[in-house]
Amino acid sequence: MKDIKIGNAKNQPGKITYGFIDGLELPTGIIEKIPVIIAQGLEDGPTFFLTANVHGFELTGVAVIHELITDQLVQDLKGTIIAIPTLNPSAFRKYHHKAEYDDRDPNRLFPEGKFAEKEDKDEDKEYPKLYEHITNKIYSYFEKYADFHIDFHNHSLLSIPYAILDRLFYEDESEKEEANLLLERQKEMVDSFGMLVCAEFPAKKYLKMKLHRSVSGSTFNSLRIPAFTAELGENRFLVPEVITGSVKGTRNVLKWAGMLKGPIEQITEFPVPKPEFRVRRFDHPRVNRSGILRFIVKPGDFVTKGQPIAKFTDILGRPLNDGYIRTEYDGVMVSLQTQMTVYPNDAIAEMGVRDEFPLLTPIPSK
């Protein structure tokens, strides 16, 4: 069996062990500790990382990990699961998006890997800042042990669960064939979960948003380990049906990886749209003026080009434009804005629209 030590947690075949990783030393004399669970079966097999709660108010992944890892799972398991219920205890305690000691998006602070030399040289990069002390340590464990990885998130209050398929970048033609094989394996893995699958934003926007430095983006693109983000619907509170369906989906991926036996189970606990074409994330539709909006569609609905998405009025209830906001694309409504007020150029929703951009692309040169 593979020997694994993460923080003060060490594997024991056929058992669940618990511990903590020392993260960042705080000025008050305490150390931010990152919890870790190691669940190892009695037979050799892959090592699968499960992480959650890099954003403190995205809660479902914490519950999924707690529900998934049981004594019975370990008896059935081939290989090892390493689970980190919260990557960001500071944000979890305060119920915030970011850590109390670092105002940057924590899901854009994982190592740049092969992208570093493509970006402008910056001497400050030699000195990791605050939350990066934690991300660098977590990344080092991925690099040492991981064969697969899922990072659990929540999107927003008005959203459906879906899985994100990252873009994959390569440096030169000699890497392309191997990268394509990794991408195919990645697609199989994401499909096995059983949720709607959305490709990430196109390559240029992907890099501009630093998604290659997200937890799964960094693992996939720099470590070349199959990894993806599972967006588990509503944030800020727990939906029992989403927890149950997501545990089932995670078990499906473990079956795909050869770590559990049994048939793939269909997710019936929440809507799973099934588009006839590959879709990508797209912020749409947008408004051309300020106003008041009321949606007439729901997350998970299929819509067609020209279809009204929301009623659009002024504060007195008088129609603006023709009284509606319409989609310019066919696709799936993934999430809806929770606010009633909108301003010029605001995107009021995120849709899954036809993806005509390549999933595999060269790293752009400066």
pLDDT tens, position by position, 132-179: 999 999 999 999 999 999 999 999 999 999 999 999 999 889 999 999
318: Cβ–Cβ under 8 A, 6 or more apart, which residues? none
Question: In 165-313, where does DSSP find H-type helix?
Answer: 173-193, 203-208, 215-221, 240-256
Mean pLDDT of the region 310-331? 97
Over 70: is that where the pLDDT of 124 sits?
A: no
251: Cβ–Cβ under 8 A, 6 or more apart, which residues? 68, 260, 265
Kindly report the backbone phi and psi dihedral angles of residue 315, in degrees, each rounded to the nearest multiple of 5, phi listed first: -65, -20
Kindly report the backbone phi and psi dihedral angles of residue 110, in degrees, each rounded to the nearest multiple of 5, phi listed first: -80, 160
- Of 12-16, 119-123, 264-268, 285-289, the one with minimum mean pLDDT is 119-123
Q: How many CB atoms lie within 10 A of CB 117?
A: 11
DSSP 3-state percent helix, strand, coil across the chain (nearest 5): 30, 30, 40
Torsion over CA: 160, 346, 295, 324 (sign):
negative
Q: How many CB atoms lie within 10 A of CB 234?
A: 21
Q: CA 285 to CA 268: how far, in whole Å?
A: 29
Predicted local confidence at residue 46, as pLDDT: 98
61: Cβ–Cβ under 8 A, 6 or more apart, which residues? 50, 51, 52, 53, 85, 151, 152, 153, 154, 230, 232, 246
Find residue 198's DSSP bridge partners.
Answer: 164, 279
Q: Right CATH number for 5-256 from 3.40.630.10, 3.30.360.10, 2.40.30.10, 3.30.70.890?
A: 3.40.630.10
Predicted local confidence at residue 117, as pLDDT: 63
Q: Which residues of 188-197 are buried (b: 16+ CB within 10 A; e: fewer)?
A: ebbbbbbbbb
Q: Is the peptide bond before 285 cis (omega within 30 degrees of 0)?
A: yes
CATH architecture of 279-354: Beta Barrel (2.40)
Percentage of the chain exceeding pLDDT 70: 97
Percentage of the chain exceeding pLDDT 90: 90
Per DSSP, the residues of 110-179 read S--GGGGGGSPP-GGGGS--THHHHHHHHHHHHHHH-SEEEEEE---SSB-EEEEE--EEESSHHHHHHH
- Of 74-78, 254-258, 361-365, the one with minimum mean pLDDT is 361-365
Model pLDDT for residues 64-90, shown as the tens digit of each residue:
999 999 999 999 999 999 999 999 999
Longest dimension (CA), the chain: 69
Alpha carbon 353 to chain centroid distance? 19
Q: At 125, is the pLDDT very low, low, confident or very high (cuts 50, 70, 90)?
A: low
Model pLDDT for residues 29-52, shown as the tens digit of each residue:
999 999 999 999 999 999 999 999
Model pLDDT for residues 285-304, shown as the tens digit of each residue:
999 999 999 999 999 999 99
Predicted local confidence at residue 112, as pLDDT: 87
Predicted local confidence at residue 114, as pLDDT: 75
Predicted local confidence at residue 252, as pLDDT: 98
Residue whose tokens read 């037979």:
43
Q: CA 322 to CA 220: how far, in whole Å?
A: 45
How does DSSP classify residue 267?
P
**What torsion do the CA atoms of 63, 65, 67, 69 make, to the nearest 10 degrees?**
-160
Q: At 115, is the pLDDT very low, low, confident or very high (cuts 50, 70, 90)?
A: confident
Mean pLDDT of the region 321-330? 97
Residue closest to 308 by CA, chosen among 255, 348, 273, 272: 348
Three-class secondary structure of residue 294 per DSSP: strand
Find residue 104's DSSP bridge partners.
Answer: none
Contact 9, 18 (CB under 8 A): yes
Strands 9-10 and 349-354: unpaired
**What are the boundaries of each domain within the chain?**
5-256, 279-354
262, two tokens: 């049994």
